Amino acid sequence: MSAKSPGPNDHFLVVYRRKFRAWRGSRPFWAGLLTILGGVPIAYLPYGNIKLGNLTLALATTAGAGSLIIGVLLMVLGLTMWFQVHTRVFAGVAAILLALVSLVVSNIGGFLIGFLLALIGGALGIAWGEPGSMPAKGAKAAKGRTEKASEPAVAGAPNGVDGASTNDDLSATSPVDGTNGRHRAG
């Protein structure tokens, strides 16, 4: 039995945890979660009342509807990052813009809590890359070595190229190799 495949003796919570981990790894999970969590205080605070003993604080503003719209849109953008992965850049940019608008419209962006969460979530959504889309450092270096080694040599030439010497490679020109930044034309 391999460690990744569910066996007959695995507990159902272990199986669901593995499935959730695979699902979470294939999308910008934390970006969506932070964006959703950023929308909650922005949408809730203008309508919520805080009770401190016998004192009730109403945080209602004249832009309560605007706050509700911004908060709900941020929550929808967070869900979009989860379920429509290919629109993550749009959702991230929109989340950042809505977070900036919430500073003015919604009690300083939900007392800066919602603003910061939505801003970080949007930035993470933009920065997220698909797993395996970036080549590893070792693979990149090995690719460069194999391309240089695979150049064919011309028969009869002293260094593989007809009439060229060892210091004619000007790809990394510097004053040290005597070329003084000049390139050979022809």
**pLDDT tens digits for 4-63?**
665 667 788 888 999 999 999 899 999 999 999 999 999 888 887 778 888 887 776 666
d(CA 26, CA 126): 15
pLDDT tens profile 99-131: 999 998 888 888 899 999 999 999 999 999 887
3-class secondary structure per residue, 26-38: CCCHHHHHHHHHH
pLDDT (0 to 100) of residue 31: 95
Contacts of 51 (CB under 8 A, 6+ apart): 57
pLDDT (0 to 100) of residue 65: 86
Count other C-beta atoms under 10 Å from residue 39's C-beta.
Answer: 29
pLDDT at residue 98 above 80? yes
- pTM of this prediction? 0.64
151: Cα separation from own chain's centroid? 38
Please report, as a single letter, which amino acid is at residue 116: L
